[in-house]
């Protein structure tokens, strides 16, 4: 979908897209498509349960196994901006996906995969939200949560540990057993960028030793050469230009075309 058109449908205030100002009153496209099913904000009216009549697969809760595709996406996105959520008294987690509003196509791309496999609710569609930073600037983002289920507990425990009473995200020591080409693709889509002739992975949220672990896994599993690069007293990963062809071959089959530019494909 054309991003300019998408903004005109979803934005309630002024946004700038490559210098073009767009001003529209917020009317969710789901409401435009079916006003009897949705409110103007995009929330489903209570008497409906499946807005898309989308064929979904109900998770088998008894065996606690997660479909390979869902696991790969979660692992890749957990290395990026995805976060696990579990209340203090909760027994099972969910995961939240969040991106800038300009990447709303990507969020819906993930949402429909999770919806199909029964790991997202049909009435919990991604909608635009706003936040204000410390400087008073308003930023718009889009997010959705997976279902809360015991099936996701193992993956949550792999990526989170308790530290002074708080759960923090880590890079697990055995990540090499879980990182697949599809997971790498979603890691790049979620938190990567083009960096000169190479590719940057923004690992700022991880400790330096964890960044080194990620670098060693990329080399040992995929023969990808990379090195740490300091940024704002934290470290990100720079994938060397000579390894970009390897990356493209591995991840392109799994990437949304919207993000081809991150691996140097225009």
Domain ranges of the chain: 45-168, 173-255
Instruction: For residues 243 and 218, give the distance between their C-alpha atoms in angstroms, rounded to a whole number.
Output: 10
Count helices and strands (H / E) in the chain: 8, 12
Mean pLDDT rounded to a whole number for the chain? 81
Q: Is 6 helix (H, G, I), strand (E, B) or coil?
A: helix
Q: How would residue 135 be classed by pLDDT, with cut points 50, 70 and 90?
A: confident
| Fold of the 173-255 domain | Endonuclease I-creI (3.10.28)
Q: Is the pLDDT at 25 greater than 60, yes or no?
A: no
Fold identical between 45-168 and 173-255?
yes
> What is the per-residue DSSP string for 16-49?
EETTEEE------HHHHH-TTTB-TTSPBPTT-S
The mean pLDDT value for 71-93 works out to: 92
5 class by beta-carbon count within 10 Å (0-12 exposed, 13-18 middle, 19+ buried): exposed
**20 within 8 A of 3, measured Cβ to Cβ:** no
* Least confidently predicted of 71-85, 127-141, 173-187, 200-214: 127-141
* Least confidently predicted of 15-29, 42-56, 112-126, 129-143: 15-29
Q: Is the dihedral of CA 220, 168, 117, 33 positive or negative?
A: negative
The pLDDT, as a whole number, for residue 94 is 94
More confident site: 99 or 22: 99
Express each pLDDT in 181-239 by its tens digit: 999 999 999 999 999 999 999 999 999 999 999 999 999 999 999 999 998 889 999 99
| Fold of the 45-168 domain | Endonuclease I-creI (3.10.28)
More confident site: 45 or 120: 120
Query: Most confidently modeled of 3-7, 80-84, 136-140?
Result: 80-84
What does the radius of gyration of the chain's CA atoms come to, in whole angstroms? 19
The whole-model pTM stands at 0.77
* Least confidently predicted of 199-203, 246-250, 254-258: 254-258
Q: Is 150 helix (H, G, I), strand (E, B) or coil?
A: helix
């Amino acid at each position: 979908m054309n991003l300019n058109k998408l903004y005109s449908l979803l934005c309630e205030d002024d946004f700038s897209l490559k210098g073009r100002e767009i001003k529209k009153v917020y009317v969710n496209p789901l409401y435009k498509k079916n006003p009897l099913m949705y409110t103007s904000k995009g929330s489903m009216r209570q008497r409906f349960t499946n807005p898309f009549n989308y064929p979904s697969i109900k998770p088998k809760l008894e065996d606690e196994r997660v479909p390979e595709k869902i696991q790969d996406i979660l692992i890749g996105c957990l290395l990026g901006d995805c976060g696990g959520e579990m209340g203090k008294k909760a027994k099972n987690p969910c995961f939240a996906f969040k991106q800038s509003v300009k990447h709303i196509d990507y969020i819906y791309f993930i949402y429909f995969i999770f919806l199909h496999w029964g790991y997202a609710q049909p009435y919990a569609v991604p909608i635009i939200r706003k936040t204000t930073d410390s400087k008073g600037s308003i930023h718009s983002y889009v997010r959705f949560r997976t279902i809360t289920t015991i099936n996701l507990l193992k993956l949550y425990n792999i990526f989170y540990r308790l530290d002074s009473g708080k759960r923090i995200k880590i890079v697990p020591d055995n990540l090499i057993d879980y990182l697949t080409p599809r997971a790498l693709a979603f890691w790049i889509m979620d938190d990567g960028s083009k960096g000169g002739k190479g590719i940057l992975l923004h690992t700022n949220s991880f400790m330096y030793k964890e960044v080194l672990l990620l670098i060693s896994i990329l080399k040992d599993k995929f023969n990808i050469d990379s090195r740490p690069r300091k940024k704002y007293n934290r470290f990100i990963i720079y994938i060397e230009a000579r390894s970009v062809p390897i990356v493209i071959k591995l991840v392109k089959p799994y990437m949304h075309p919207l993000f081809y530019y991150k691996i140097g494909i225009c």
